[in-house]
Structure 1
Amino acid sequence: MTIYDDENLVPPGFEKLQRGGPYVAAMGPLYFRRADAVVVIAMRVAQRHTNMRGIAHGGMLASLADSALGIGMTIACEGRHSFVTVNLSTDFVEAARPGDWIEAHIDVQRIGSRMAFANCYLQVEDRRILRASGVFAVMAPLSPEQLAAGY
């Protein structure tokens, strides 16, 4: 039996991400890569992520985009803030299937004192499968206890 979440199937340069709380932990595991200002959050699609058609469930993809945007902004600002989603817009472009490695390429537009704005594309190799745009409330940074618990 193939296990798609096996760390041996994680591309080079990605590290396991210990953030996102219980919901993201149940969806993941998630991985990240940071090169200069570019943050990429990624995961391997498993059978448990699929709908009745055998493709990645749209709700799971929207959850990945939402989580990746918030986590990506937190990484980009080096943890000085945390973020709560105010609005998320998604456009589904193509399907993802079990075994696909999905990368969320995050583009932080602006982090202000009260609101933050970011976009991302979910990609499987060179194929864009989802476009997302989010507006977030800027919150106080997470406490050391929250960070230790994986939030």
Structure 2
Amino acid sequence: MSTQTQSPEGSPPLQAVPADFTPFETRSRFVQLCGPMYEKVFEDGTMGLGLLLEEKHLNQLDVPHGGILLLLADNAMGRALTHQSNWTKQYLTLALNSQFISLAKPGDFIYAKPIIHRIGKRIAFIDCDIFAGEKKVFHASGTFALTEKTP
């Protein structure tokens, strides 16, 4: 069952959240402000995130702001690393490189699919692609510092 979200009057209709994505719970006030986000474990065991592109995510040209794509990719990569460690470690972004490939449309459900390349004792290397449907719209490469999770 997918979740249908109402769009503000005059805004493009929002797509439904796919049934295999569930609400993403976070303590980050910034992510809460930009969300809601949804999470999914993909067939390969990697965890990813998605969100519905709303009016609040658009820039002055009425296309998704690059910052929302960076936010989604950064959080998806961190979430994928945390999931891979069975929730025992925290990850801090050291570097994030990005490429804007194509445009998603307001109302689209976009999702981030991380690809973990290497997790070392202190550093992890990971890529992330963001899709609108089957169309790749964004790519990021990240380097993350690993730290022990504190209570």
TM-score grouping bracket, smaller chain normalisation: 0.7 to 0.9
Q: How far apart in 2 are the matches of 1:120 and 1:36?
A: 14
Q: How far apart in 2 are the matches of 1:111 and 1:20?
A: 24
Structure 2: segments with no counterpart, 5+ residues? 1-5
Q: Tell me the equivalent position of 1:71.
A: 79
**SS, match of residue 93 in structure 2:** strand
Q: How far apart in 2 are the matches of 1:30 and 1:141?
A: 23
**2:136 is matched with which residue: 103, 107, 128?**
128
Q: How far apart in 2 are the matches of 1:77 and 1:101?
A: 28
Q: State the shift of 1:97 in Å.
A: 2.0
Q: Tell me the equivalent position of 2:122.
A: 114
> Superposed, which structure 2 residues align to 1:85-96 within 5 Å?
85-96=93-104
Does residue 2 in structure 1 map to residue 10 in structure 2?
Answer: no
Percent identity over the alignment is 29
**SS, match of residue 24 in structure 1:** helix
Structure 1: segments with no counterpart, 5+ residues? 144-151
CA deviation map 1:53-79 (0-9, x unaligned) = 100001111111111111121112211
> Partner amino acid for 1:33?
K
**SS, match of residue 72 in structure 1:** helix
CA deviation map 1:42-61 (0-9, x unaligned) = 11110000001100001111
Q: Is the 8 A contact 1:41 1:72 kept in 2?
A: no
CA 1:96–1:142 in 2, change beyond 3 Å: closer, same or farther? farther
CA 1:75–1:19 in 2, change beyond 3 Å: closer, same or farther? farther
Does residue 50 in structure 1 map to residue 55 in structure 2?
Answer: no
RMSD after superposition: 1.8
Q: Is the 8 A contact 1:13 1:33 kept in 2?
A: yes
Q: Which has the higher helix share?
A: 1
Q: Is the 8 A contact 1:20 1:67 kept in 2?
A: no
**SS, match of residue 107 in structure 2:** coil
CA deviation map 1:94-127 (0-9, x unaligned) = 1122111111001111121110111110000110
**1:102 is matched with which residue: 94, 104, 110?**
110
**SS, match of residue 50 in structure 2:** strand
Q: Tell me the equivalent position of 1:147.
A: none
Q: How far apart in 1 are the matches of 2:27 and 2:69?
A: 15
Q: State the shift of 1:40 in Å.
A: 2.1
Q: Tell me the equivalent position of 2:22.
A: 15
